[in-house]
Amino acid sequence: MKRLLSALCALSIMGTSALRAQAPAITVERAAKLAQEQLTARNLQGKHHISSLTLQKTSMTSKQVHWVAMYTPSIPLDDRKEIGAEIGMDGSVVRLVNKEAKK
């Protein structure tokens, strides 16, 4: 059990240091501006705001990263909620929608 825990900790540290080693092509300022533009274009800037902006790896095995902006409160859609935006290093923006339907 101790070996498993040690291995998981080592992998976690390696993953974190790999994320830090790769400088993002889009700055945090640019990512915030792109996420805010999504709200402004839909006239939502007064009702919703960016609550967090984080740099995340695309997957566990990938070296690619993207920015994730989370909105507060989430934006209600027909049967789901938009919770934020994913900003790619090419400047593309994808809306993040909660996959669970409202009950």
Widest CA span in the chain = 53
Rounded to the nearest 10°, the torsion over CA 17, 51, 35, 24 is: -10
Q: Is the pLDDT of residue 1 over 90?
A: no
Rounded Cα–Cα distance for residues 51 and 68 (Å): 11
- In tens, the pLDDT along 29-61 reads 999 999 999 999 999 988 999 999 999 988 888
More confident residue, 19 or 23: 23
The reported pLDDT for the residue numbered 4 is 46
Rounded Cα–Cα distance for residues 85 and 91 (Å): 12
To the question of pTM greater than 0.95 for the whole model, the response is: no
Query: Residue 80, by phi and psi: left (phi above 0), alpha (psi -120 to 50) or beta?
Result: beta
